[in-house]
Amino acid sequence: MPDKKNKVAIVTGASRGIGAATSERLAKDGFSILVNYSSSDPTEAEAVAARVRAAGAEVRLCRGNVSDPKTAKQMFDLAEFDFGGVDVLINNAGIYELAKIGEMDDETFDRVVAVNLKGTFNFMREAANRMRNGGRVINVSSSAIGLKLETYGIYVATKAALEAMTQIMSKEMRGRKISVNAIAPGQTATKLFLDGRSERELDRVAKMNPYERLGTPEDMAATIAFLCSPEGEWINGQIIRINGGTV
């Protein structure tokens, strides 16, 4: 990896949840951060940027939908112009819409695939061509793949495809010392997961693992930070389940 003062990370879907926690953790580790968000309201993203600055790191906010290839290009352009290049890509942006396969409408299917799969691909493609040697690509999958729960069919399909691309790209980066891995969080206490769920349901879900608690965004950020560190260099082409033992 480059010298600490020169490390640059792009984090997609970084205005809250795992993306926000990862941005703050990598800032503490010395990275300059490009925070991607899609909302028309920048309040949450600006709050993340403020915490990144408080950790002593430089930050840039980049609004854009990851399903649009122009968003990936623009973020890499900005990183190169302001910081000289990109060393780490965290593909965290994703949406979580569930329905039985027989009840999934075309519009929802297309939206989930566009963000979760095409969005990740857009940034992976840009990284494959523009990331500095010695870098890291980390995609965010889901431990739901192993649970095979009803209504998760399309969501899990996008994450399974993401995992396949992860392992293939890790081989395609031969000779550049760019590792490509994925983390697969279990049930995590993010706003996306908590909204609309009763306390009884959350308690049931928490007890699915031996620790009997939900994961936290900080749990996920800690593993991501390790993969981005010099000590994580030898981990490549792997899917790391972070779920407390649920599956």
Tokens standing for residue 201: 């349901």
Q: What is the pLDDT along the chain (247 residues), one digit of tens a residue?
A: 444 457 999 999 999 999 999 999 999 999 999 999 999 999 999 999 999 999 999 999 999 999 999 999 999 999 999 999 999 999 999 998 999 999 999 999 999 999 999 999 999 999 999 999 999 999 999 999 999 999 999 999 999 999 999 999 999 999 999 999 999 999 999 987 888 889 999 999 999 999 999 999 999 999 999 999 999 999 999 999 999 999 9
- pTM over 0.75? The answer is yes
Q: Which residues pair with 224 in a beta bridge?
A: none
The pLDDT value given to residue 5: 53
Identity of the residue numbered 139: N
Question: What's the alpha-carbon Rg for the chain, to the nearest Å?
Answer: 17
Identity of the residue numbered 68: D
Alpha-carbon distances, residue 188 vs 17, 66, 127, 161, 212 (angstroms): 9, 22, 27, 21, 12
- Name the strands in the sheet holding 32-37, side by side, starting at the edge strand that comes first in the sequence: 59-63, 32-37, 8-11, 88-91, 136-140, 179-185, 239-242
> What residue ranges define each of the domains in the chain, with the CATH number in brackets?
4-242 (3.40.50.720)
The pLDDT value given to residue 194: 86
The pLDDT value given to residue 193: 85
SS3 161: helix
Catalytic residues: 155
**Which positions ≥6 away from 19 have C-beta within 8 Å?**
11, 12, 13, 35, 36, 90, 92, 93
The pLDDT value given to residue 191: 83
Task: Report how far residue 163's alpha carbon sits from residue 177's, in angstroms, rounded to the nearest whole number.
Answer: 19
